[in-house]
Amino acid sequence: MVKLLAFSGSARKGSFNFSIAKCAAEGAEIEGVEVTTIDMSEFNMPLFNEDLEAESGMPENATKFKQLLMSHDAFLIASPEYNSGYSAVLKNAIDWASRMEEGEKPLQAFRGKYAAIIAASPGGLGGIRGLVPLRMLLGNIGINVLPNQLAVSGVNKLVNDNNVVSDEKTIKNLHNIGRSLAEAVLQSKK
């Protein structure tokens, strides 16, 4: 069974990016893949520091996150844009998960896997500027990033009071991203 991990690069309560990650994940589920959706606020990690790693080893939440990455075939990543880049939460989690532990191959949590990237913002650009460096980072660590991506602008007007995407056109577009990711991974397994 193909397994997909969906998450946001935000740890903020009521994160719009977490909302769109969950919506896009529904599209992947329609294609028959198993989806795990996680909230990064539950994986609080210290800033990556090799001295801390040497002294204490991998932090517990970093280990949990890395194990989730390793047990999934693909990632659906929704990243907020901060100053034309991806979030520090996302970068820090990737930095911890990139550390090679005994018995592992380099970048084992990432190499050869697939990802779809999306972003959301109340602003007019929808976080698109942050997807460019995110695509580069993910490619550099061996992830096959799908060419299609989605930036949802004005997202604050497209979710309901429960922070669930409620705009039909946006739901369709997000489901299509999830479906595309599922199809790419399923095709790679043939």
Taking only the tens place, the pLDDT of each residue in 57-90 is 999 999 999 999 999 999 999 999 999 999 999 9
Q: Where are the domains of the chain?
A: 3-188
| pTM (2 d.p.) | 0.96
pLDDT single digits (tens) 20-71: 999 999 999 999 999 999 999 999 999 999 999 999 999 999 999 999 999 9
CATH 1.10.3720.10 assigned to 3-188: no
> Sign of the C-alpha dihedral, residues 12, 129, 141, 116?
positive
Residues 6+ apart with CB under 8 A from 56: none
